[in-house]
Chains A and B, each alone.
Chain A
Amino acid sequence: MALTTFGAIMGFAVEMIGRSMDIYRTAVGKVKDPVLKENVQVLLEEGKKNSSLMEQTRRENVTEMILEPIAGLQQEDYEIDLKISGASEDSDLLKAALALEEKERRFFHDSSEKVPLPEVSRIFRKIARKKEKYIDHLKSLRLNM
């Protein structure tokens, strides 16, 4: 489905973050490695912050006079494969976290280029940059496992 409105993009962002958080919440109980557990908790906390940031951004940046259609974003390109929520081994959980973070990073990066509101673009870019750092960090954990 095409994400053609500001609200649809913001709504999808909220849902996407929510789904990731659900997966991280489950994962926290399964992870055995303490370092990975700590990192999953960080991602969960970050999800909470991003979720409320998205709600605030949606509230404060909806400019009635320029609610114009947006083109070029497809929801399907960023859907999370829910199969990864069934992972139970640490290495699989780490893979799952990497996949989730990469999906989100790509969504926020792509959306930052499509949303015609500079303030919203800036927030999206910032999240994408943060995601990049988490991804690098998670990759470094993989090397140590």
Chain B
Amino acid sequence: MKRVKNYINGEWVDSETKEYGEVWCPATGEKIGEAPFSTANDVDRAARAAKEAYWEWRCTPPLTRARYFFKLKNLFEESFEDIARILVTEEGKTLDESRGEVRRMIENVEHATGVTTLMTGYNLEDIAHGIDCTAEPQPIGVFGVIAPFNFPAMVPWWFLPYAVVSGNTYIVKPSEQVPMTQTRIFEAIDACGFPEGVINMVHGARDAVNGMLYHPDIKGISFVGQSSTARYVYKACGETGKRVQSLGGAKNFVLVMPDAELDKSMPSLITSFYGCAGERCLSGSVLVAVGDVYKELKEKFVAAAKSLKVGNGLQEGIQMGPVVSKKHKEKVLGYIEKGIQEGAKLILDGRNIKIEGYPNGFFIGPTIFDEVHPEMTIAREEIFGPVVSLIHVKNLDEGLKLIENSEYGNAACLYTTSGKTAREFKYRAVASMMGINLGVAAPMSFFPFGGAKGSFFGDIKGHGREVFQFFTDTKVVIQRWT
């Protein structure tokens, strides 16, 4: 059993805490590790190291800073399979999903190495007679990320490489449920040879989070997690004058039009709802059958869901793994109970799934509710599990109304063969990540990631071109030499 350490100022160090959280393997239900619930003092130690490292790093030429990331990319490629397997072991997703996640992490490193073009400012001569003006983006100081459990490798890397390649220094706080993946990633960082204090990691939970939110030397926070915490982080950063990008939860609607190519669409529909066991903020949650596609869609979707291979994600060929923890399993089962109580019709029940060889795993099989009404809890709240709510509407307008009325606005998807309908949908739907004929509208590293309404608190989203604005302050210099 592994007890992970913090990484501060280029060294692996113990937290001052006596409290440790347990890390579980979701497939076997066994305890596999412990992570310290680091204190505000531990965060302070990391923040001081990062602050100390800042000026020298900030003065390092951008291309030199980028070279560290070129090297780091190669180190990540070498440890790719190792990281992916650790991730499966502590989070539960399948090996393919895990490899896909590690790939996306590396893509962010690749994108960030374009700093010499992505971070440049602009200028204009003669803004008045003989006066020139330049806008010069400059790094700001120490930034940090507070990461969720569901993408333990990738999410910190939506932010970290851009912050650091821009000349800032950094602190990562991984989820206390899945601390081992980022620990393995930091072994690569350690081997890469970054100057001490440039990149740091502090494990922990509430105390570490508050330590970061209220630390005077931390200039900005990126957060990804559930909406209630995202709102809390946003408020705290407002109080303390920090920059903030706070990504919350989701309730994603997937509309299927009568003209959709159902057979062709089915693999991606299934992936949308059951990929990562529904534990992703881009997962489909409400399947909306528009018009007379309802009966055929239901039959085909149920048949495809039934055929999914559920098991230990470490076995190749498994299509859906367990959910992350016993506690989370109970939460998802609670939503299923709620759906039954509120009158939805359970047409595929994954509650009692048995996986041979894994009697203690946190498995829930594919679950489908039919005859779901928009006001039901399962149609409104984020379940974050393999539970699908099927709603039948008359037309596109009714479907768009469902999206508009949702508290969340992360992603929305549409299946159709009509360009006109697709345009109407992307034009009107109140969500920020849109999929047309695909079920996981996941922006890649060179496009921004983040939602609308209760799914996002802040201005500048994760990765994409814009993220460089979050990690820099644009200094405007007005000069007269004539």
Q: Which residues of A contact B (CB under 8 A)?
A: 1-8, 11-12, 55, 58-60, 62-70
Contacts and interface: CB of A to CB of B under 8 A. Distances in A.
Given A65-B438, A66-B440, A69-B304, 14 more contacts: A1-B317, A3-B317, A4-B317, A5-B316, A5-B317, A5-B318, A7-B96, A7-B316, A58-B99, A59-B103, A60-B103, A67-B97, A68-B271, A69-B267
A104 to B, nearest CB: 19
A1 B311 CA distance: 15
B472 to A, nearest CB: 28
Contacts of B267: 68-70
Contacts of A62: 96, 99-100, 103
Among the interface residues A58, A62, A64, A66, which one has the most CB atoms of the partner chain B within 10 A? A64
B275 interface: yes
Interface string B59-94: 000000000000000000100110000000000001
A69 B270 contact: yes
B103 A64 contact: yes
15 contacts: A7-B94, A7-B95, A58-B99, A60-B103, A62-B103, A63-B100, A64-B100, A64-B101, A64-B440, A65-B100, A65-B438, A66-B271, A67-B275, A68-B270, A70-B267
Contact of B96 (A2, A5, A12, A65): A5
Contact of A7 (B77, B99, B270, B309): B99
A66 B270 CA distance: 11
B235 interface: no
Nearest to A6: B96
Interface of B: 77, 80-81, 94-97, 99-101, 103-104, 267-268, 270-271, 275, 304, 309, 316-319, 438, 440-442
10 A-B pairs closest in CB distance: A64-B100, A68-B267, A7-B96, A8-B317, A65-B442, A11-B316, A65-B440, A62-B99, A8-B316, A62-B100
Contacts of B103: 59-60, 62-64
Among the interface residues B77, B96, B268, B275, which one has the most CB atoms of the partner chain A within 10 A? B96
Nearest to B315: A8
B99 A59 contact: yes
B451 to A, nearest CB: 16
A69 B319 contact: yes
B276 to A, nearest CB: 9
Contacts of A60: 103
Among the interface residues B97, B101, B304, which one has the most CB atoms of the partner chain A within 10 A? B97
A67 B276 CA distance: 10
Contacts of A2: 317
Given A59-B80, A59-B99, A68-B268, A4 B94 contact: no
A49 B198 CA distance: 38
A72 B277 CA distance: 24
A4 B308 CA distance: 10
Contacts of B268: 66, 68
Contacts of B319: 4-5, 69
A66 B309 contact: no
Nearest to A68: B267
A74 to B, nearest CB: 12
Contacts of A55: 81
Contacts of B80: 59
Contacts of A66: 268, 271, 438, 440
Contacts of A3: 317
Nearest to A15: B316
Nearest to A71: B267
A59 B77 contact: yes
B271 A69 contact: yes
B343 to A, nearest CB: 32
B317 A67 contact: no
A64 B283 CA distance: 12
Contacts of B441: 65
B199 to A, nearest CB: 23
Among the interface residues A8, A60, A68, which one has the most CB atoms of the partner chain B within 10 A? A68
Contacts of A59: 77, 80-81, 99, 103
Contacts of A70: 267
B440 A4 contact: no
Contacts of B95: 7
Contacts of B97: 64, 67
A70 to B, nearest CB: 8
Contacts of B77: 59
A64 B94 CA distance: 11
A3 B134 CA distance: 58
